[in-house]
Chains A and B, each alone.
Chain A
Amino acid sequence: MKHEQAMERRGFLKATVGAASLVALAGCDKLTQSSWFPSVLHKAEGLTELAQRAVTPANAMAKEYGEGDISDVFPANGNTDPGTEEYAEMVKNDFADWQVLIDGLVTTPTMFSLGAIKEMPARTQITRHDCVEGWSAIGKWTGVPLGDLLRNVEPLPTAKYAVFYCADIDDEGLSYYESLAVVDCFHPQTILAYELNDKALDISHGAPLRLRFERQLGYKQAKYVKRIELVESLADIGGGKGGYWEDQGYEWYAGI
């Protein structure tokens, strides 16, 4: 009967479509595991950076919110405690001895004490933190504009990236680090923050100093910053991709 044929044909089509999508899925997994395909996908990052930098004025500001917009709970992600003895000592001492070294391709490498940083003109901003996982939280950050610190040490023209070395170490002993383009360090909202919501930063949020770079995703916001090195290339640092998360496959250009 013709009706039965139609039913059979539908069953056949269903099976075909099902099988085809399973094959396609397995194919996607194979490509993901292959040695060459991820580097093809990775090309999109360069295009994204090119396009986003082209349409975004250098000093375009991230939206600043009102006091009423601040999140009740600002989640702490990634490492929430460096857990080293050295850090524990600093905590005991209320970070009185914390220092940040800025060196590398600069005219005058300088060690800044936390006290000296807190005495510099501060900037306060209520901004949105966008995690790569998809959630957002709004917080009020106070800190010193990174540009002001860098102007003190005078970067050399060859300096392309600022690398942030952090005090936290993961379960496998890898040190956390991050990097930004030097040009982004001079954005007015790029600050080394020491306060969140009018209180000294707590340990889970990166005490005593963390980076805020409001135009990119959360994993760029390095916590527990203890050294900033200006370099020409990221190739010889860590896994060579410019950051702890970047070495694990996340984009260095985290604008989206």
Chain B
Amino acid sequence: MTPTLHVDPLVPETMPVISAPPVDQPATAPGAWGTGQDLPEERIYRHRLPVRIGHWLNVLCLFILIMSGLQIFNAHPALYWGDRSDRDRPLLSIRAVKSDGGQVNGITTILGYPFDTTGVLGYSNNSARAFPDWATVPSAKWLAMGRQWHLFFAWLFVINGLLFATYAFISRHFTKDLLPTGRDLKHIPQAVKDHLRLRHPMGNEAKRYNVLQKLAYIGVLFGLAPLIVLTGLTMSPTIDTALPWLLTIFGGRQAARTIHFIACFSFIGFIVIHVAQVMLTGFLNNIRSMVTGYFVVRHEGVKR
């Protein structure tokens, strides 16, 4: 196989551009950054409609589920392991604490170690609340409405996820596009190095997901998403009577709540990296491909 040259879109000076286009040269293709190269770029149909719909519904659901979830968390801002909440032994707690001088501080305690998080966690905007108002839905302290938002969009998230999974297996999107091949797996060390240096695949290699992308998407879609749904269901006293094994596999209702919280922050971590990658690899091109399906692959500077 031909090795692919990687370029860093953030630092264009280092791009191994073979023939840099004069600034005033007109674009050769619609919506292009036209260059003088032979077939400098190619428009491919990258995301099919069900994937696009599923993606944007997930954006909506996750935005609301995360923020309404933080609202619910604020009603009892502490996490435990096992089945019960022993309030003197939380794994994590986020509280407003009044000092001797009368000053209120936000104190986040993780495994017994306290951190002053005033202004963000525990105490913000002159109010004692674990997560600040800009991070919760609704913004005011309102558990009943937070639950209404959360449980409505939880249903949408689950239905969307089940439809997507069905589609992915029937259309073979899963095996063709998402499942890493043996070659992919061997390529992991190189892919990690490239990612750390912010070098992203170009040319034909950009037409498919790279191995880290595949692992991230599979991990989120078929690992993290089911995990957050199942731990959510484990918090339901009714479901615990129907499916008592949920309590066993997650180590109790409070443990399930803790895992649910960690899974939530794993989603936030994924979203941050995902959005950063979208920005680093051509924001508008990526957004367009997830809206219209069409993605422009640049061949300039890529050895073929």
**Which among A43, A75, A217 is the interface contact of B152 at CB below 8 angstroms?**
A43
Q: Which of B13, B148, B279 has the most CB of A within 10 A?
A: B148
Chain B 96-125 interface 0/1 with A at a Cβ cutoff of 8 Å (1 = within)? 000000000000000000000000000000
Residues of chain B with a CB closer than 8 A to A135's CB: 76, 78, 80, 85, 87, 254
**Which residue of B137, B147, B151, B253 is within 8 Å of A130 (Cβ)?**
B253
The residue in chain A whose Cβ has the minimal distance to the Cβ of B138 is A32
Q: Is there contact, CB below 8 Å, between B75 and A215? A: no
A72 to B148, CA, bound (A): 32
How distant is B133 from chain A, measured CB to nearest CB, in Å? 9
A28 on the B face (CB < 8 A) = yes
Q: Please report the C-alpha to C-alpha distance between residue A45 and residue B152 in the assembled complex, in whole angstroms.
A: 8
A71 contacts across to B, CB distance below 8 A? 84-86
Q: Which residues does chain B contribute within 8 Å of A40, judged by CB atoms? A: 152
Known interface pairs A24-B63, A134-B257; A249-B13 also in contact (CB < 8 Å): no
Q: Tell whether B238 is near chain A: CB-to-CB under 8 Å.
A: yes
Q: Cβ of B217: which chain A residues have Cβ within 8 Å of it?
A: none
Residues A3 and B247 in contact in the complex (CB < 8 Å), given A44-B152, A134-B75: no
Contacting A13 at CB < 8 Å: which of B63, B143, B243, B283?
Answer: B283
Given A25-B134, A25-B139, A41-B149, also A52-B238 (CB < 8 A): yes
Are B253 and A136 in contact, with the CB atoms below 8 A? yes
Kindly identify which residue among B64, B239, B279 contacts A28, using a CB–CB cutoff of 8 Å. Answer: B64
Please report the total number of A residues contacting B with Cβ < 8 Å.
58
| Contact, CB under 8 Å: A216 / B238 | yes
Q: Are A256 and B241 in contact (CB under 8 A)?
A: no
Residue B41 at the A interface, CB < 8 A?
Answer: no
Distance in Å from the Cβ of A127 to the closest Cβ of chain B?
A: 9
Q: In this assembly, does B244 line the interface, its C-beta being within 8 Å of a C-beta of chain A?
A: yes
A121 within 8 A of B: no
Known: A132-B143, A132-B147. A62 touches B241 (CB 8 A): yes
B66, chain A: closest CB distance, angstroms? 11
CB-CB under 8 A from A6, the residues of chain B are 10-12
**Bound-complex Cα distance A22 to B264 (A):** 20
Measured CB to CB, the residues of B under 8 A from A are: 10-13, 63-64, 67, 72-73, 75-76, 78, 80, 83-87, 134, 137-140, 142-145, 147-149, 151-152, 154-155, 232-233, 235-244, 247, 253-254, 257, 275, 279, 283
Q: A interface vs B, CB < 8 Å?
A: 2-3, 6, 9-10, 13, 17, 21-22, 24-25, 28-29, 32, 38, 40-45, 47-48, 52, 55-57, 60-63, 65, 69, 71-73, 75, 128, 130-138, 214-217, 245, 248-251, 255-256
